[in-house]
Amino acid sequence: MSPAPASVTLPPSCLDPPPLDGVDGVCELRKMYFKPGLRGLGAGTALIARCLHAARRLGYRQCYLETLTGMDAAQALYERAGFQRITQAMGATGHFGCNRFYLRAL
């Protein structure tokens, strides 16, 4: 696995994915944003792979994330990484503005 580019700060949720509150065995991928100049370079793919590796190492069975309608490039990235769209939110994330939900087996 290649390291993340030097200009990308790894979010804490990548290095130590937090549990999804209220759901055993599931972690939450949070706060994954890239500046426009970093998009399309494979950094998102590498970062998700690193996050999922950490989640597996910590014993999680699934990874969950939330996003918004209109974040088409992000949703395509998540789907390429094996996330599947689900119909409703899971757990108690506290993110009330999100309306798209994804889950991936680890």
Instruction: Give yes or no for residue 4 having a pLDDT over 70.
Output: no
Confidence of residue 25 (pLDDT cuts 50, 70, 90): very high
Contact (CB, 8 A) for 27 and 63: yes
Q: What's the CA gap between 49 and 45, in Å, rounded? A: 6
Q: Which two tokens stand for residue 101?
A: 């939900």
Instruction: Give yes or no for residue 27 having a pLDDT over 70.
Output: yes
Indicate the residue type of 83. Answer: F
For the whole model, what pTM was predicted?
Answer: 0.82
Q: What's the confidence (pLDDT) of residue 13?
A: 53
